[in-house]
Amino acid sequence: MESIANRLGALDWNIIREDLHRKGFVTVKNVLNDDECNGLIQNYSTASCYRKTILMERYRFGLGEYKYFSYPLPSLVQTFREQVYQHIAPVANQWMREAGIEKQFPRTHAEMISQCHQNQQLHPTPLILKYGKDGFNTLHQDLYGDIYFPIQILFVLNQAGRDFTGGEFVITEQIPRAQSKANVLSPDKGDMVIFTTSFRPVRGSKGFYRVNMKHGVSPLHSGERYSMGIIFHDALS
């Protein structure tokens, strides 16, 4: 079986980066295999893997549940954090320059985490999410502190149309002085969605302006939906 590092290394990152610049998100097909997806779902009930469980309705985040992994992260999750970061950090740095922000992200993910820890953002943010019938996730941004990386990734761990219906992944774009645009995605099991965490710069007639972006999950009509989110910065709590 090909390793995750080799799979990631074989992707056309030039095309992926172009799509991120052009629209702020991209779906990469068949990155996780069935066994990897199934293993993550099976481990959802292993309490020792996680540091915190959140019931979404308690905080008006939606209807469902998610669990934050604890350190040390599973090797699969750690590999994605390290490898994907290196390929997309150039996009993040270009966005900062275009937005006029005096911030450049380091070359390696280890250096990024070091910056988080210096800011007392000590807790890992990768998570597994579970939704049942009528479950949903309100539109939001995963920031967790002053230090944050502007791009993150998502995997759906089971199959839309077979294991659940509804539950589409929704990304909204708020353009200044305009109505919001909604992008509705239905990634297949094992697909990797790379998307904007907070905002991305877009070139207009008078230079660059910021498009504010949020993401969420539409209500499930039936079944159960599992997904994994990998955020590249750590959290204050």
> In the chain, which residues have pLDDT < 70?
none
pLDDT in tens, 179-233: 999 999 999 999 999 999 999 999 999 999 999 999 999 999 999 999 999 999 9
- CB neighbour list of residue 10: distance below 8 Å, 6 or more residues apart: none
Q: Which domains does the chain have, with CATH numbers?
A: 4-230 (2.60.120.620)
Q: pTM for the whole thing?
A: 0.97
CB 99 within 8 A of CB 219: no
